[in-house]
Amino acid sequence: MSVFRLQQGRVPLLISLPHVGTEIPPELQGRLQPRALASEDTDWHLERLYAPLAQKLGASLLVPRYSRYVIDLNRPPDDRPLYPGAVGGTGLVPTRFFSSEPLYRDGAEPDAADIAARRQAYWQPYHDALDAELQRLQAEHGQVLLFEGHSIRSVLPWLFDGELPALNLGTADGASCAPALTERLAALLAGQTRFSQVVNGRFKGGYITRHHGRPEQGRHAVQLEMCQRCYMDEAADPAGAFDETRAAEVAPLLESLLQEMLAWRP
List residues binding Zn ion (CB under 5 A): 19, 43, 150
Nearer to Zn ion, 150 or 212 (CB): 150
Nearer to Zn ion, 43 or 47 (CB): 43
Question: What distances in angstroms separate CA 149 from CA 5, 21, 93, 242, one per listed residue?
Answer: 15, 13, 20, 16
Q: Nearest distance from residue 19's CB to Zn ion, in Å?
A: 3
Contact between 172 and 204 (Cβ < 8 Å)? yes
Q: Nearest distance from residue 228's CB to Zn ion, in Å?
A: 11
Closest by Cα among 78, 233, 231 to 166: 231
Q: Nearest distance from residue 168's CB to Zn ion, in Å?
A: 11
Q: Nearest distance from residue 190's CB to Zn ion, in Å?
A: 24
Q: Which residue is nearest to Zn ion (CB)?
A: 150
Nearer to Zn ion, 150 or 204 (CB): 150
Nearer to Zn ion, 150 or 265 (CB): 150
DSSP string, 138-169: HHHHSSEEEEEEEEE-S--TTTSSSPPPSEEE
Q: Nearest distance from residue 263's CB to Zn ion, in Å?
A: 26
Contact between 44 and 232 (Cβ < 8 Å)? yes
Nearer to Zn ion, 46 or 261 (CB): 46
Contact between 239 and 44 (Cβ < 8 Å)? yes
Question: CA-CA distance, 263 to 103, in Å (whole number)?
Answer: 43
